[in-house]
């Protein structure tokens, strides 16, 4: 499934679509869990490669902004 991802919010909405709502106190822990769940979705072929790569890019951008 190809999904248009333009913002970090879109990544969160993608996870929500599969039943994942992730809350952590620390932003780094939250980003690590989000990244892990995106990897699991890709591993189980629920998202395509393009969606996976775009998600990783947006997560990394968010990680750089929070430093």
Residue 46 has φ and ψ, to the nearest 5°, of -90, -20
Q: 65 falls in which pLDDT band (50, 70, 90)?
A: very high
Q: Return the pLDDT at 67.
A: 76
Residue 61 has φ and ψ, to the nearest 5°, of -60, -45
Q: Return the pLDDT at 2.
A: 62
Q: Which domains does the chain have, with CATH numbers?
A: 8-66 (1.10.287.760)
Q: Return the pLDDT at 1.
A: 53
pTM for the complete prediction?
0.90
Contact 38, 56 (CB under 8 A): yes
The string of pLDDT tens digits covering residues 2-54 is 678 999 999 999 999 999 999 999 999 999 999 999 999 999 999 999 999 99
């Amino acid at each position: 499934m190809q999904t248009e991802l333009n913002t970090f919010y879109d990544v969160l909405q993608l996870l929500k679509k599969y039943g994942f709502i992730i809350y952590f106190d620390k932003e780094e822990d939250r980003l690590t869990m989000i990244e892990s769940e995106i990897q699991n979705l890709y591993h189980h072929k629920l998202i395509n490669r393009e969606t996976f790569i775009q998600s990783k890019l947006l997560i990394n951008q968010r990680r750089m902004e929070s430093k």
